[in-house]
Structure 1
Amino acid sequence: MEGLVTLSPTKPNPSFWSGKRVFLTGHTGFKGAWLALWLSRLGAKVVAVSLPPATTLNLAGLIDLDTMIDGRIADIRELDGLKRHLQSAAPDIVLHLAAQALVRTSYQEPVETFSINVQGTANVLEAVRAAGTARAVVAVTTDKVYRNIEQFYPYRETDPLGGHDPYSASKAAAEIVIASYRDSYLAAAGIAVASARAGNVIGGGDWSADRLIPDAIRAWSARETLVIRRPQAMRPWQHVLEPLSAYLVLAERLWSDPKLAGAYNFGPPTYEAASVRDVILLARQCYREGEIIWGDGTEGPHEAAWLALEVAKARHVLGIGARWSLQQAVGRTIDWYRRLERQEGRARELCIRDIEEFERTARQDDST
């Protein structure tokens, strides 16, 4: 296979990122805040745009992210303003994470979801085209871009796109936009573009509505009963640092080999996909208390019952594989919230602690 790696670039390379000009969208979100912090630690010069945080309690505010990067409040749906921000940043690399990222919200606000996720993505790529400084772009979508036919089958990058709910459909449409801009404009301009389809992400610092671990933390910390709507739903769960590391390594590889442009799945091995029940039972074991009511899967709008990703391409082409097991990912996530709740560490310190441990694990794996 062309581009097959013989030495795995298993973690971001500080010498690569030091001094790189990076334009990031979505830095006030959960994943975006973690990524901006990591980039800052790697020595990158980050200019970021995003809407204001969606929740009063949010990771970007808790870690004082604006003291580490040039963070700007802007809407990616406003093309002219986005062009000005990107032009002034003159980035080497663009990482696009801004999105309306919640399935249930997409049912309530479908037009806004399509506007942000589809038109917003087109605007980012158009701004990249206009600026002409970037050499690599990683645009983040989701594992839900595939036409899910509810079979026990891990989806590959070549499988048909689709989406029952507006969120999934909007991200599938964004994938088509990404491929179109890559094929029509950006490849010829020497800009390598890849899309990243990551599995369900957990980690400290997420307070979004209708997400499994944040819902559990809110309920148990308030001594309330956690209600689980679909305990049997299967998903490819992973700690937030897994896909973020993958995005950074992917950008490094695109920089050195533009032929690697394309779509990539990132997640745990298929056999480690787990049910919502499994994850919550692990979380309660780590939290050491908490009541649960198990639903029967009929409440609320449609959500896929089974989803897993085939990650062989990322493993063989990029050398990327999962570092932490599901038990480790859940354990570190719950520990993050517990330490913050007990004032045993500030949010930034807790994030840095996890990043350092993840990097240490990668070094150990590389040496074996």
Structure 2
Amino acid sequence: MNTIFDGFYKGKTIFITGHTGFQGSWLSLWLVLLGANVVGYSLPPLTSPSLFDSLKIKKSITSQISDINNKDKLFSVMSKHKPDIVIHLAAQSLVRKSYDTPLETFSTNVLGTANLLESVRDVPSVKSCLIMTSDKAYENKEWDYAYRENDPMGGHDPYSASKGASELIVSSYRRSFFNQKNSPGIASIRAGNVIGGGDWSEDRLIPDCIRSLQLNKKITLRNPKSIRPWQYVLESLSGLLLIGSKLNKNSPQLGRAWNIGPMSASDVSVQSVVKNIIKKWGSGTINIKQNNLHESKYLRLDSSNISNILKWKPTYSIEQSITETVNWYLNYNHNDKSIHDYTVSQIEDYVSKAKKSKHVWVKN
């Protein structure tokens, strides 16, 4: 396992914000398997159950429970551990919640990103920094068009606007403070709608479906015809880790924004995803409910740059992504296997499939 990505992460100290979240937990586990020394900085898990607690990741990493808005604490922890790489995942990540807590959303997602970059400026050990934003950072025109990295930032709802704003901050810091030859490489990642086992967030499609199925309740859909770029959690993370393995002081051209999206066939409707989930679960019904809050109807990502420049490509189809996701929750429900061991096996299966497909990051 620790030879993939050219063995780059073995022995490296990786500082992850948001390590207690859904993607942060998957990333922390994968980096541990890659032989990295992981230092996490985050609020406590926001859900119960949580993937972070279920995987017992705390035993394998250094975990600091703190707020990204506490600039002094953030710098203190980062400078103490002298990381080689910083990966920023900490965020208020829910569209509907952002309508209820707009100031919290902007504070965490915008000022939190600035706080993070300030610490990176002042910690000389850092060689590169990857910042996860969102596909929703784009000014959505509601057209059948895959957004490219040079399309305008925007955002109707506070969450989307905060992600567009954080991209502008990253761009400003890169050009203002990380523009020297030996400056750390700074890249932002705009991933699609990430799915996978262990997501228990409120007002998010997959966990909402699973909760309804567990209770034998109808699955309520607000926007059944909305199109999204659905992708398995390890897809976005493999792209991020590939960029991280190449991004350093000697590769300034890689310090830029990157889309990481699925193959176009995975851009399907919410209703199509839910019908597939029901089929794999073995039961379930759908209830359509009018949505009174604005959410984009059409959203696609163009991943040509990461495909052409770094030769990254998706590993799983939408069907396989849903299968892996549903199987995780079924295993969790039935206690068929230690959830830690089962999650590790899903990472191993993903790597094996990528290797069979001769993907660039598993060539060794």
Report the TM-score, using the length of structure 1 for normalisation. 0.95
Question: 1:66 corresponds to which residue?
Answer: 58
Counterparts of 1:245 and 1:160, CA distance in 2: 26
1:280 to 1:237, Cα distance in 2 relative to 1, 3 A: same
Question: 1:329 corresponds to which residue?
Answer: 321
Contact 2:227–2:299 under 8 Å retained in 1:
yes
The Cα offsets for residues 281-306 of structure 1, whole Å up to 9 and x where unpaired, read as: 110010001121123xx323100000
CA deviation after TM superposition for structure 1 residue 149, in Å: 0.8
CA deviation after TM superposition for structure 1 residue 253, in Å: 1.1
One-letter code aligned to 1:350: Y
Question: 1:7 corresponds to which residue?
Answer: none
CA deviation after TM superposition for structure 1 residue 366, in Å: 0.7
Question: 2:133 corresponds to which residue?
Answer: 141
Counterparts of 2:252 and 2:336, CA distance in 1: 45
Does 2:244 match 1:251?
Answer: yes
One-letter code aligned to 1:356: E
Deviating more after overlay: 250-259 vs 140-149 = 250-259
The Cα offsets for residues 47-76 of structure 1, whole Å up to 9 and x where unpaired, read as: 110001111210000111110100110111
One-letter code aligned to 1:88: K
Q: How many residues align?
A: 356
CA deviation after TM superposition for structure 1 residue 18, in Å: 0.5
Question: 2:159 corresponds to which residue?
Answer: 167
Q: 1:110 aligns with which of 102, 121, 140?
A: 102
Question: 1:285 corresponds to which residue?
Answer: 279
CA deviation after TM superposition for structure 1 residue 15, in Å: 1.7
Q: 1:48 aligns with which of 25, 32, 40?
A: 40
Q: 2:210 aligns with which of 199, 213, 217?
A: 217
Contact 1:227–1:293 under 8 Å retained in 2:
yes
Counterparts of 2:301 and 2:5, CA distance in 1: 26
Question: 2:195 corresponds to which residue?
Answer: 202
Question: 2:264 corresponds to which residue?
Answer: 270
Counterparts of 2:263 and 2:348, CA distance in 1: 23
Q: How does 1:12-91 map onto structure 2 within 5 Å? A: 12-13=4-5, 15-91=7-83
Question: 1:261 corresponds to which residue?
Answer: 255
Question: 1:234 corresponds to which residue?
Answer: 227
Report the TM-score, using the length of structure 2 for normalisation. 0.96
CA deviation after TM superposition for structure 1 residue 12, in Å: 4.5
Contact 1:22–1:92 under 8 Å retained in 2:
yes
Question: 2:145 corresponds to which residue?
Answer: 153
One-letter code aligned to 1:284: I
The Cα offsets for residues 139-192 of structure 1, whole Å up to 9 and x where unpaired, read as: 000000100011111100000000000000000000011011111112325200
Contact 1:162–1:172 under 8 Å retained in 2:
yes
Partner of 1:13, secondary structure, is: helix
Counterparts of 1:160 and 1:215, CA distance in 2: 31
Counterparts of 2:168 and 2:291, CA distance in 1: 32
CA deviation after TM superposition for structure 1 residue 347, in Å: 1.8
One-letter code aligned to 1:143: D
One-letter code aligned to 1:251: G
Q: 1:184 aligns with which of 136, 154, 176?
A: 176
Counterparts of 2:280 and 2:341, CA distance in 1: 20
The Cα offsets for residues 321-351 of structure 1, whole Å up to 9 and x where unpaired, read as: 1100000000110010001101111221121
Q: How does 1:287-306 map onto structure 2 within 5 Å? A: 287-295=281-289, 298-306=290-298
Q: How does 1:91-110 map onto structure 2 within 5 Å? A: 91-110=83-102
Counterparts of 1:16 and 1:299, CA distance in 2: 46
Contact 1:12–1:248 under 8 Å retained in 2:
no
Partner of 2:190, secondary structure, is: strand
Q: Percent identity?
A: 42
Contact 1:12–1:249 under 8 Å retained in 2:
no
One-letter code aligned to 1:98: A
